[in-house]
Chain A
Amino acid sequence: MTDCMNAEMRDLLPDLAAEALSTAETSRVGAHVAGCSPCADELALIRQVRGLRAPAVEIDVGAIVAKLPRPTPGAAPRVTAPHDDRGVVSLDARRLAATHAAVGRRSLANRARGAWRVAAALGVIVAGGWSIMMVRSGGIPNMQMQADSVPLTDLGAGVSVPNVTANEDGGNTPIADTSPNAQATEGAAISFGAMNDLTDEELTRVLDRLEQWDGATSVETTTTRPILLTTPGEARQ
């Protein structure tokens, strides 16, 4: 079966078979088909395909209609005729107003959620900055640190990295860690008070080491854990 080179005519063959063309177009395409063997063959094929019948499907119109969502009484959408230039089937003003009100409520809720997220982020930043400043200044007298990881052995002082959580009174409490590692090193807990005994040079080395270690945790395989300031709620999880 060869193809006709007249693309326009070929495109119209399904419409001819469906009797969807105007009288003038039907005559024009029909005249072409009468003199074009490929188009006549293609039209015959199209009609054969159209003649294939799908198996009957039982459809209960009443059941479908019974399940259709009803238009709201008194606020029935109106079909606007194409005189509105867009030919849009639109809702009436009351339904539109209700829709807008609903959208407005959702927007307010979304804004409130966003504000809480911003506040939470600011809290984390402030608390984190404060803790870092305090650690670098070396002075949180009552902060106890619980060792639960491998010590930085080359410091010689058994300094290890804890999980710390803030108390309501401004102090800090070690987070109970029940891991085997924590239990094994339970006796290695030290206080920051001991660091006051270090010389300036030793303290500098400790801080330098901490900085190096903190920056390396994301790329190095290490058994130590970063300093983590968590809220009491998180600590219990």
Chain B
Amino acid sequence: MIEAEPGDDTALDRALIERWNAGDEQAATALVTRHAPALARYAVRLGMSDEAAELVQDTFVRAFGALGTFRSESSLRTWLFTIQRRLVIDRRRATARRGQELDIEEVGYASTGYDALDTIVADETSMRVTKALASLTRMQREVFVLRVQEGRSYKEIAQILDSSEGAARVHYHNAMRAVKEFLDD
């Protein structure tokens, strides 16, 4: 289990990628150790608790298979989030095709299962905040998680969600308003 989580240092990531390409196995270990916790957390926030570890692994395998396409104009972690999110959507589509989830419009977001089970709730207040997050729309919740819990910028969120910065900003503020209203009730 990974406990520590190093920061999101683009220059360090770039250097590690270069070392990996030169045949340094330890560089890959360092990269996985740096980003796996955030990916696992993101998977859980997307409602994929049961498959989080597998998703993290698949994300790294896919990312390392396409390192040649990685553009360092975005951070490695943002790129990894983007890949993982697509994997989540693919899995939900596959599940929907098997008839386990019927609402195709909501594929990729529906039934994310973001509830108390996905969070270690320490007290009553945390429970209420968790429920407030669960009340958000799928897009609001995803943007809110990326902005608040993962500290991503609007530009990065737009890249991850394949959207625009303006849309990400609107979703964030709508989500914040909804959370406040939920807590005020």
Contacts and interface: CB of A to CB of B under 8 A. Distances in A.
Interface in A5-63: 10-11, 14-15, 17-18, 20, 42, 45-46, 48-63
B64 A59 contact: no
B60 A57 contact: no
A212 B129 CA distance: 74
A79 B67 CA distance: 9
Contacts of A89: 14, 17, 67-72
Contacts of A10: 173
A55 to B, nearest CB: 6
Contacts of A210: none
Contacts of A88: 71-73
A218 B126 CA distance: 67
Given A67-B61, A69-B61, A54 B2 contact: no
B68 A95 contact: yes
Nearest to A41: B180
Contact of A59 (B2, B117, B144): B2
A79 B21 contact: yes
A54 B147 contact: no
Interface in B126-171: 126, 129-130, 133, 144, 147-149, 151, 153-154, 169
Contact of A53 (B17, B49, B120): B120
A57 B72 contact: no
Main secondary structure of the interface of B (DSSP, over half): helix
Interface in A53-85: 53-65, 67-69, 71, 73, 76-79, 81-82
Nearest to B29: A65
B89 interface: no
Interface residues of B, number: 62
Contacts of B61: 64, 67-69
Interface in B102-123: 117-121
A77 B44 contact: no
Interface string B15-56: 001101111010011001100110011011100010011001
Contacts of A76: 21-23
Contact of B129 (A14, A18, A48, A68): A48
Interface of A: 1, 3, 10-11, 14-15, 17-18, 20, 42, 45-46, 48-65, 67-69, 71, 73, 76-79, 81-82, 86-91, 95
Interface of B: 1-2, 14, 17-18, 20-23, 25, 28-29, 32-33, 36-37, 40-41, 43-45, 49, 52-53, 56-57, 60-61, 64-65, 67-73, 117-121, 125-126, 129-130, 133, 144, 147-149, 151, 153-154, 169, 173, 176-177, 179-180, 183-184
9 contacts: A1-B180, A49-B129, A52-B126, A56-B1, A57-B40, A62-B29, A63-B57, A87-B72, A89-B14
Query: Which 8 A/B pairs are nearest by Cβ-Cβ distance?
Result: A18-B151, A57-B40, A54-B44, A1-B180, A76-B21, A79-B18, A68-B64, A57-B52
